[in-house]
Structures are given as structure tokens and as C-alpha cells.
Amino acid sequence: MAGPAHEPDLRTLSIRGTLALSGRETLRVLRLWSQTLMPPVVTAVLFLAIFGGALGDRLRQVEGLSYLAFILPGLLVMTVAGQAFANASTSLFQAKNEGYLDDILSSPLRPAEIALSYMAGGLVRGWLAAAAVAAVALPFADAGVHRPAVAVLTLALTGVIFSALGVITGLSADSFDHLSFVANLVIAPLALVGGVFYSVERLSEPWATLTRIDPIYYLVDATRSGLAGAQETTIAASLPVAAAAAALATLAAIVLLARGWRLKP
């Protein structure tokens, strides 16, 4: 006669719960692809078409690259950053505002597992959108992929940083206006002055200094180094700083979630 079945231990339940919540967030991105993936891809392709087509003939080369090849890495960073942030912040805010976050908090999941699960959806959304943009644009960019590992690592760190910031913003927000404020008046301006469309070497002061203190500039430059082989800063400095920023942002999201910071709408 078979003995009684053993109930799964707490660790097993945590793993299952983490996979289930991560899967839910990923499935949300895929099911709503017309809202989560199509708009950023269309926007990035329009940027490439308008700037590459309208300015490409006048700015034939920037830092030894065609203008299209020069702006593509920055657009990939913008896409990953914007979509990773938007997905994590919106999803967590909705969970908090509609009350079903309480069910997740009462589960065996630890704060780190909850934070990473919400970040997973943002990472999937950002990376899939960037991959679609790259697939469309790379054949026309007139540049090979010089160091793919550097480009992939930088875009991965970009996704981690901004999905973690999305979790923090989703916790702190008390309205959709708050989410829009951070996305439109903090992240978007930082991206636009982060050297996506211009070389910092061609700027006069104070614009050159403002660009150099923008953290997104270093992510853009590292991605450009990986894709096009051109760089204005040292990768040995930018990648460790990006990794430290990713670790700190993730840790901050976990700590705030563990403390229950602003969990009630």
C-alpha cells in the first residue's frame, strides 16, 4: 500500500509561485502584444525612417558611421528602457490599486521573488521590442555587429535597471498620472539627451557636460560600441557602473517591497 503523498515544502512552493507569477507577467505581455510590443516597435522604426531618411543624406557620417548605424544602438536602449519601466510600473500599480496584490503578499513568495517576477515581465517586453527593432533595422544600418556580447550585456543591464525602477515607481505611485510623470518627464528626457541622435564631441558647453552626466549616455555608448564598434567612453568603466546600478536598483525594489512601502493605494 502506497504511503501518504508528501506535501511540497515551502521552498518548492516559492519556486512554483515565482514561476507562476513570472509566467503571468510574461503572458500578459504576449497576449496584449498590440499594446505592449507593436507601439514601441513602430515608434522606433519611424525614428529610424525619419531621422535616417531625412538627415542621413545631410549627416552622411557621425564618428565614422552612417547616421542610421549611429542612432540605432541608442534607439534600442530607449526601447528597452521605456518598455521595461512601463510594464513593471503599470503592472504593479494595477495589482496594488485593484487589491489583488494582497493575495500575492499573503503567498509563500518572498519580497525578492515578487520583485523579480514583476521585473520579468518588463524584461521580456523590453527585450522583445528591441529584438524586433533590431531585426527590422540592422539589414539597413550598413554596419555589422562588432561585439555582440557587449551589446547584449548592455541591453540586459538596461532592462534590469529600468524594470527595477518600474517596480519602485509602481510601489510609490498613487495614480496613473504619477506613472506618466516619471515616464514622460524623467525617463524620456534623459533618453533624448543621452547621445542617441548626436555625438557629444560635437556639442558646446553646457550641453556636452549635461550629456556626460546623463546615465543613459553610457548605456547608449556601450551599446554603440558593441553594435557599430564606435565609442566615446571606455567600456571598462561604463559596464561595471551599469552593473552596479542594476544591482542597487534591484536591491532597492526588494527592500522597499519587504518593508511594505506604500503598498496600500
Q: One digit per residue, pLDDT tens: the chain, 265 residues?
A: 444 555 567 778 788 889 999 999 999 999 999 999 999 999 988 888 887 666 656 666 676 788 888 889 999 999 999 999 999 999 999 998 888 888 888 888 999 999 999 999 999 999 999 999 999 888 877 666 888 999 999 999 999 999 999 999 999 998 889 899 999 989 988 888 888 888 888 888 888 888 888 899 999 999 999 998 888 888 888 899 899 999 999 999 999 999 988 887 5
**Has residue 263 been placed in a domain?**
no
| 11 within some domain | no
pLDDT at 5: 53
For residue 52, the model assigns a pLDDT of 67
Evaluate whether residue 201 is within a structural domain. yes
Indicate the DSSP class of residue 184.
I
Residue range of the domain that includes 248: 18-258
User: CA-to-CA distance for 138 and 38, rounded, in angstroms?
Assistant: 18
Q: What confidence score (pLDDT) does residue 3 get?
A: 47
Domain count, the chain: 1
In a domain, 12, yes or no: no
Q: How many CB atoms lie within 10 A of CB 16?
A: 13
- Which residue in the block uniquely carries the three cell numbers 510590443? 37
The cell for 80 is 528597452
Distance between CA 74 and CA 58 in Å, rounded? 20
**Looking at the domain assignment, is residue 33 inside a domain?**
yes
- In a domain, residue 264? The reply is no
Confidence at residue 53, expressed as pLDDT on a 0 to 100 scale: 67
User: Would you say residue 1 lies in a domain?
Assistant: no
In a domain, 90, yes or no: yes
3-state SS, 216-248, equals HHHHHHHHHHHHHCCCCCCHHHHHHHHHHHHHH
CB-based contact 170:89 (threshold 8 Å)? yes
- Return the pLDDT at 56: 56
